Amino acid sequence: MENKDQFNIKPEGNLVYVRPVAVRDLPEAVRIQVPDLKLLYAVHGADGERLALVRDRWMAFSLARENELQAVSVH
């Protein structure tokens, strides 16, 4: 995709991105807190900063709404 405005999504304001993250790819300090999970969902700000890790996709979108943010999925 050459044109980042192709889908009319502008990374500003209250937009956050939700994506799945394999627990095995996270630091050990995080892995030991979720020994029974293989996947978490990360909420990222428009600048790419990870804002939160949560148990499931539904929770990620709920967290965004509770903080007056608009969430979109990223694969």
pLDDT at 12: 60
1 located within any domain: no
52 located within any domain: yes
7 located within any domain: no
What pTM does this model have? Answer: 0.79
59 located within any domain: yes
4 located within any domain: no
Give the pLDDT band of residue 15 (cuts 50, 70, 90).
very high
How far lies 68's CA from each of 1, 30, 32, 50, 65, in Å?
A: 29, 26, 31, 17, 5
Domain that holds residue 61: 15-73
Number of domains in the chain: 1
